[in-house]
Amino acid sequence: MAKLAITGGGRCNISNNFESIRSLEEVYPRGANFMKRALAEFPPEHLLDWFRKRGVEFITEDGGRIFPASQDAGEIVRVLLKAITGVRIDCNCRLDSLPEDSGFIVVTTGGGKGMEILGDLPVKIVPPVPSLFTFNLSDTPDGNRSSLCTLMGTSCEAGLSIPGTKFHSEGDLLVTDWGLSGPAALRLSSYAARHLAEHQYRSPVTVRWMNCPEETLRTMITGIKERNPRKMLKSVHPEGLSARLWEYLLKQSGLRDDMLWAELGSKGLNKLVQVILADNYYISGKTRFRDEFVSCGGVSLSSVNIKTLESKEREGLFFAGEILDIDAVTGGFNLQAAWSTAYIVAKTIINRYDTQDF
């Protein structure tokens, strides 16, 4: 509950309406197939209805992100605490192992250290590594802070990719004083979480400053040149790039910013296009995003019955939430996975163990 109270920067991005999502793989890099089933069993609408019946109203923000209208994660916590009657809650009480003698156990201890409780249990674990972090950036493999960081605060719609791999992302990219952040960086950190961990968070990374085909960009720049022959390169820039970023990209391309557009030859044009579409840097480490992170890895879905989330090895042992090898990009998808998996486990327990409906 303490963690829930700080989700979404204290506003609790409780779920997502999934309306702009083309495929679940896009948002659940691990567990997409399973989430298809879980979302059919307990979709966001059922979750919201449950809370609405208890007086909570919701708002939807860009990207389909759903928050309580009160903008207060505490409201969600209070409603949950009020709803769980007849249950003893022990706070500040760490378990080192699971009790042997209970009828059923649900493990919801989250990712990372929460997995330690599983000890030597015969459960297949996919080793946990962090996901959802921002990138520290340098210009050379062993270099210091990248020159790009002088543009701190600049943001634009961009693409990010790791050369030689399939990992790429698109979205808002924010230049920070240490490197790259914003949805495009967080998504890439999620897609490539294991790859980056295996490479000690050191890797080449390519920024595509404009998400358009090369031909479109060439036509756009040639058009600017034809319309502004007597103006300096720095005074007219393509739409979508800020003046500050444009001046930086001119420098990256080895072009003088006071050169006239009429003087831009094919060599200069080629270099400019190349830098805009593939500007190369190095990831030299990772930084937490507003203390927000999730674990990639956990209890393997191959070791649980996917209809009940019960261990295949030990009857009565269930898993829900982040301890499972399911994780998502930001946007309310991680909490929705926790709600849906918890529902599946609760339903099984109610049906099988003849507990009271709750």
Ligand X SMILES: Cc1cc2nc3c(=O)[nH]c(=O)nc-3n(C[C@H](O)[C@H](O)[C@H](O)COP(=O)(O)OP(=O)(O)OC[C@H]3O[C@@H](n4cnc5c(N)ncnc54)[C@H](O)[C@@H]3O)c2cc1C
The residue within the footprint of ligand X, chosen from 123, 321, 344, 349 (CB under 6 A), is: 321
Asked if 322 touches ligand X (CB under 6 A), the answer is yes
Asked if 291 touches ligand X (CB under 6 A), the answer is yes
The residue within the footprint of ligand X, chosen from 6, 79, 125, 346 (CB under 6 A), is: 6
Q: What angle do CA 201, 2, 197 make, to 5 degrees?
A: 10
Asked if 269 touches ligand X (CB under 6 A), the answer is no
The residue within the footprint of ligand X, chosen from 58, 292, 308, 312 (CB under 6 A), is: 292
Asked if 120 touches ligand X (CB under 6 A), the answer is no
Paired sense of beta strands 304-305 and 310-311, if any = antiparallel
Asked if 338 touches ligand X (CB under 6 A), the answer is yes
Which amino acid is residue 314, in one-letter code?
R
**Shortest reach from residue 95's CB to ligand X, in Å:** 4
Which amino acid is residue 151, in one-letter code?
L
Asked if 335 touches ligand X (CB under 6 A), the answer is yes
> b/e per residue, 129-166, with b = 16+ CB within 10 A?
bbbbbbbbbbbeeeeeebebbebeebbbbbbbbbeeee
**Of the listed pieces 170-178, 220-228, 243-251, 329-337, which binds ligand X according to CB under 6 A?**
329-337
The residue within the footprint of ligand X, chosen from 123, 148, 294, 344 (CB under 6 A), is: 294
**Shortest reach from residue 220's CB to ligand X, in Å:** 37
Q: Which residues contact 309 (CB under 8 A, 6 or more apart)?
A: 318, 319, 320, 324, 341, 344, 345, 348
Residue whose CB is less far from ligand X, 209 or 333: 333
**Of the listed pieces 4-12, 47-55, 151-159, 215-223, which binds ligand X according to CB under 6 A?**
4-12
Residue whose CB is less far from ligand X, 89 or 166: 89
- Of 55, 77, 103, the closest CA to residue 4 belongs to 77
Phi, psi dihedral angles at 139 (to 5 degrees): -85, -25
Asked if 8 touches ligand X (CB under 6 A), the answer is yes
CA 188/CA 227 separation, integer angstroms: 38
Residue whose CB is less far from ligand X, 322 or 325: 322
**Shortest reach from residue 295's CB to ligand X, in Å:** 9
Tokens of 83: 């709803």
Asked if 83 touches ligand X (CB under 6 A), the answer is no
State the DSSP string of 271-312: HHHHHHH-EEEEEEEEEEBTTB-EEEEEE-GGGEETTTTEES
Under 8 Å between Cβ of 238 and 156: no
Residues 150-179 close enough to bind ligand X by CB under 6 A? none
Under 8 Å between Cβ of 184 and 173: yes
Asked if 13 touches ligand X (CB under 6 A), the answer is yes
Residues found near ligand X in the complex (CB under 6 A): 3, 6-8, 12-13, 94-95, 108-110, 114, 117, 291-294, 321-323, 332-335, 338
